[in-house]
Chain A
Amino acid sequence: MNPMLKITAAAIALSLTLIASHAAIIPPGVQLHPTQTFIRSNGSEPESMDPAVAETVPANQIMRDLFEGLTATDTSGKTVPGVAESWKQTNATTWVFKLRQNAKFSNGDPVTAEDFVYGIRRFVDPKTASPYATTFGVFLLNGLEVAQGKKPSSELGVKALDKFTLEIKTQDPVAFMPELVANTQLGPVHKATVEKWGKDWVKPGNMVGNGAFVLKDWQVNNRIVVEKNPHYWDAAHVTLTRVTYLPIEDQSADVKLWESGETDYVYQLPPGVFDKYKAQYPKELRNQAIIGLRYYDYQTQDPAFKDVRVRKALSMVIDREILSKRVTADGQAAAYSLIVPGVVGADPTPYEWATWPMDKRVAEAKKLLEQAGVKPGTKYTFSYNTSEYHKKMAIFVASEWKTKLGIIMETESMEFKVLAKKRHDGSFQIARNGWLADYNDATTFLALVRCDSDQNTNHHCNREAEAIIQKGTQSTDAAKRKALLTQASKMIMDDYPMIPLLQYSLPRLIKPYVGGYSELNPQDHYRSKDFYIIKH
């Protein structure tokens, strides 16, 4: 890296000492219920309870209760100290975390820097085969080589400077390191427990974690029960004594369990009932917008979509407002940009035509198609995975193209795994897609459109924008970085590699006596630590 940059980086290194209290914030005057138990739907059965292997939203939700990383996310989505009480960036690629000395595992052992070194090395180690190994691992020095098995895990950029000081070295500057290490994949693991029990270390009775809760019971496809961990460093501020997670996949069943009073929290409403429940349960219906994007991918290598004018024309005539308010009608907002509101590290860059009246958009689109030589009656194939929700959206988009441009969209629905394979192989014309941010930084969205990215399924590559992204991610000046990433994102989106449609949100029903839910958490990274039950 540029030595000048290094000096600047060192000079502007952030030095943070946060002592803020970040436990459940109970507003004055609120009386707590005598029993502090919380029963919630968690959407699905976690695929694993090993923090290194956990991948999906339901698994990570429970991980945040059972384990705690260097930092954590509070109810409003802010990064707050976790096991680390303070941290600083000592140069562009080095971060030093000072651990609190009273942090303990659930068996009473102290949490030390060595436990983080063990946990992070284990996470990236090819033997663990974590699906996230490269997603997060690439940020660490030698992370990719270790994940590929080309270097031993001892060469990973993570080191214990002393018992309570951890140093993390990165490949490139990682502006969002404090946010990144809130992920429990990069958290501490109790080595003796893993060595004693092997694969079964994650089972109730065996598991030793360092989160605010401990695992009490786990019945596959039935329930997971966690109880307050008395050894947790901030146990005095943990209000709930027990949380029951139910893996309810059927959204209608989820709502019925809530209506019958058996659960306090619906994971997500089924599509099409938002308005009905908003009228019926105005206080209980909570809609959490999250940083995620529903979009359609073009296969830009397909001859039909080589011309940017075609891609632009098709995108601009879809009325996202009607899609959001009338078709999906579940509280999700229209999207006109790769970067959605709430993302840190780049601004949304909505298309200029988004504010035009529809007539003008259609006229412009017709002109573009004519210039590109695309005649009405042209057929495209759209692939999506079988689901009522995706079908509804597809029918709407098909009718927009048919009525406004005379373009015919033939739809083919398939099993999810088949679609995933088709997308990765590039054997489609237009495909349904969706993305939920892995961490709150613009780079997680840029991964969808960057050259050579595993997540780029539209196969479009803008080398000029790529160079700007490289420059941006190398920069340690937050404002400059943001400006560069915003510029690059706009450049790429002006190539129309995809059709942004809606920003994900999680409309759910929550009993009014559940306190601590803010609707401000853009990644839905709530911890049970922040929840409490109000007297009712």
Chain B
Amino acid sequence: MWSYTLRRVLATLPTMLAVISVCYFLLHATPGGPFDSERQVSAAVLANLQAKYHLDQPLWQQYLLYLQSLLHGDLGASFRYADWSVNDLVANALPVSAAIGGGSLILSLIIGVGLGIVAALRQNSVADHLVMLIGNVGSAVPSFVIGPLLIIVFAIVLKWLPAGGWHDFELRFMVLPMVLLTFINVSVIGRVMRGSLIEVMHSNFIRTARAKGLPTRVVVLRHALKPALLPVVSLIGPLAISSITSALVTETVFSLPGLGKLIVNGAGNRDYTLVLGLVVLVAVLTVTLNLLVDLAYAWLDPKIRY
């Protein structure tokens, strides 16, 4: 397994380089630059700004400079947030996103898997319909509708929780955004878990286990759960990435200083370094999570060996 992990990590290096290069040149090819604004800057000012950010050098030279500083762990200076380095910005936003996104992912796994099991074992019962209802509402109603609804009910009418903002990981500011993200994730996980478990419960080895006279609890927990979790595990990678790095709607609705806001502001402002820095982050997270998911497969499915 260790050599497999090492091989996988090494194989990601060319992927990372390709991702960064493609993004780098795509960004620079996008019409409009970081200094295009409502007020056109004069030629003199534009020259000064370009010199300050080394944009006056040939593109390939800028690219090599960027790769060089990247190797030293320096993501460069932000254009949009002129007083901050991209490292500072990511370091400040990542914990917020990780807390909200990661926290809600763990919660939604517990709740989603639990509800999925209940729904699968009691097909067509009230519990099953409820899970399917949550699943359908969560997928059909966009988060920019559910979010404001939560705010109106819990912040404006009941005044139990704040309508938004962020105060050093204070729980009351995290509750509503986490509820929103959890709700959306549960709707996906619950549906997938239900479908997968129903399928597993109809397979031959479960019939064998039942035929041996094992009680349902043991059949489910010891035999059915692990294989039924496989599709859920493959969901975790993409769900974690989207919950942590691109929970833009949640961040906008609840005014959170997370990564999603940085990505959108960075792209909209042609903040080359900020966008690239976030691309690097997302690429690293994706590669790591995919690796973890693959390793989890081996544990869940005895047929898979590395």
| Interface residues, chain A, with chain B CB atoms under 8 Å away | 45, 47-50, 53, 55, 126-131, 133-135, 144, 147-149, 199-200, 202-203, 219-223, 246, 248-250, 252-253, 256-257, 259-262, 415-422, 424, 433-436, 438, 454-455, 457
B42 within 8 A of A: yes
Chain B residues, CB < 8 A from A131: 35, 37, 39, 41, 45, 49
Chain B residues, CB < 8 A from A434: 38
- A199 and B85 CA atoms in complex are apart in Å by 10
Encode B240-264 as 1/0 by CB contact (under 8 A) with A: 0000000000001111111001100
- A249 and B265 CA atoms in complex are apart in Å by 10
B93 within 8 A of A: yes
Query: Would you call B82 and A134 a contact (CB within 8 A)?
Result: no
Query: Would you call A256 and B148 a contact (CB within 8 A)?
Result: yes
- A63 and B9 CA atoms in complex are apart in Å by 48
Query: Would you call B89 and A220 a contact (CB within 8 A)?
Result: yes
Q: How many residues of B contact A (CB 8 A)?
A: 53
Given known pairs A253-B255, A260-B155, the reply for A133 and B44 (CB within 8 Å) is yes
B73 within 8 A of A: no
Query: Would you call B33 and A417 a contact (CB within 8 A)?
Result: yes
Query: Would you call B82 and A53 a contact (CB within 8 A)?
Result: yes
B83 within 8 A of A: yes
Q: Which residue of A lies closest to B270 (CB)?
A: A417
Q: Which residue of B lies closest to A144 (CB)?
A: B44
Query: Would you call A49 and B148 a contact (CB within 8 A)?
Result: no
Given known pairs A134-B44, A148-B44, A262-B162, the reply for A417 and B155 (CB within 8 Å) is no
Query: Would you call A421 and B257 a contact (CB within 8 A)?
Result: no
Encode B31-60 as 1/0 by CB contact (under 8 A) with A: 111011111111111011101100000000
Encode B14-44 as 1/0 by CB contact (under 8 A) with A: 0000000000000000111101111111111
B268 within 8 A of A: yes
- A420 and B46 CA atoms in complex are apart in Å by 14
Query: Would you call B268 and A257 a contact (CB within 8 A)?
Result: no
Query: Would you call B44 and A147 a contact (CB within 8 A)?
Result: yes
Chain A residues, CB < 8 A from B44: 126, 133-134, 144, 147-149
Query: Would you call B252 and A250 a contact (CB within 8 A)?
Result: yes
Query: Would you call B163 and A256 a contact (CB within 8 A)?
Result: yes
Q: Which residue of A lies closest to B253 (CB)?
A: A253
B87 within 8 A of A: no
Return A254 CB to nearest CB of chain B, in Å. 8
- A130 and B166 CA atoms in complex are apart in Å by 32
| Interface residues, chain B, with chain A CB atoms under 8 Å away | 30-33, 35-45, 47-49, 51-52, 80-84, 88-89, 92-93, 148, 151-152, 155-156, 159, 162-166, 252-258, 261-262, 265, 268-270
Query: Would you call A248 and B255 a contact (CB within 8 A)?
Result: yes
- A433 and B93 CA atoms in complex are apart in Å by 33
- A55 and B40 CA atoms in complex are apart in Å by 12
Query: Would you call A260 and B165 a contact (CB within 8 A)?
Result: no
- A433 and B256 CA atoms in complex are apart in Å by 31
- A45 and B265 CA atoms in complex are apart in Å by 10
Q: Which residue of B lies closest to A200 (CB)?
A: B83
Chain A residues, CB < 8 A from B47: 126, 148
Query: Would you call A246 and B83 a contact (CB within 8 A)?
Result: no
Chain A residues, CB < 8 A from B166: 219, 222
Chain A residues, CB < 8 A from B155: 256, 260
Return B34 CB to nearest CB of chain A, in Å. 8
- A415 and B265 CA atoms in complex are apart in Å by 12
Q: Which residue of A lies closest to B35 (CB)?
A: A131
Q: Which residue of B lies closest to A132 (CB)?
A: B45
Q: Which residue of A lies closest to B52 (CB)?
A: A129
Which residue, of B40, B93, B255, has the highest number of chain A Cβ atoms within 10 A?
Answer: B255
Query: Would you call B32 and A415 a contact (CB within 8 A)?
Result: yes
Task: List 19 other contacts, CB 8 Å, given A148-B47, A435-B38.
Answer: A47-B81, A48-B82, A128-B48, A129-B45, A129-B49, A131-B49, A144-B44, A148-B44, A219-B166, A220-B89, A221-B93, A253-B163, A253-B252, A259-B163, A260-B162, A418-B31, A420-B38, A421-B31, A421-B36
- A133 and B48 CA atoms in complex are apart in Å by 10
Q: Which residue of B lies closest to A41 (CB)?
A: B255
Chain B residues, CB < 8 A from A144: 44
Which residue, of B31, B88, B89, has the highest number of chain A Cβ atoms within 10 A?
Answer: B31
- A53 and B148 CA atoms in complex are apart in Å by 36
Chain B residues, CB < 8 A from A133: 44-45, 48
Chain B residues, CB < 8 A from A220: 81, 84, 88-89, 92-93, 257
Given known pairs A253-B253, A417-B33, the reply for A246 and B163 (CB within 8 Å) is no
